[in-house]
Amino acid sequence: MEGVPEPHTGWTFLTNHARVLAAIADNHSARIRDIAAHCRLTERAVQKIISDLEQEGYLSHTREGRSNTYRIEPGKVLRHPAEAGLTVASLLSLLAQDEADRSRP
């Protein structure tokens, strides 16, 4: 099937929800297709993740013509008790720093 990314086997450090949130933080008007390609997920999986994030108040969107612009709630606290007090903004700042380091030659 064309356009479907190869599945990843084994465990990873980040959840797909964190990956999608980080991709949206990089580009608030990214298309679901682009997010899916970046995160190596299907478009359907990304739609479900965005829905999850919106239902829990981590994300909202505004329709602008044929596209969406997403808004992340930076002060929202992460869900797991082990991350008590850690906000979305602090998570994204760690991921953004990593992205900057990886893009250097």
Q: Report which DSSP code applies to 64.
A: E
Tens digits of per-residue pLDDT, 9-48? 788 888 999 999 999 999 999 999 999 999 999 999 999 9
Question: Tokens 């981590």 correspond to what residue?
Answer: 58
Residue 87: φ, ψ to 5°? -95, 165
pTM, rounded to two decimals: 0.82
The model's confidence at residue 94, banded by pLDDT at 50, 70 and 90, is confident
Q: Cβ of 38: how many Cβ atoms within 10 Å?
A: 18
Task: Decide if 41 contacts 32 (C-beta within 8 A).
Answer: no
Q: Report which DSSP code applies to 58.
A: S
Average predicted confidence (pLDDT) for the chain: 87
Task: Decide if 28 contacts 59 (C-beta within 8 A).
Answer: no
**Which residue in 47, 94, 93, 103 sits closest to 17, CA to CA?**
47
The model's confidence at residue 96, banded by pLDDT at 50, 70 and 90, is confident
Distances (CA, A) of 14 to 22, 58, 65, 69: 10, 17, 32, 24
pLDDT in the model for residue 60: 97
- Partnered with residue 63 across adjacent β-strands are 68
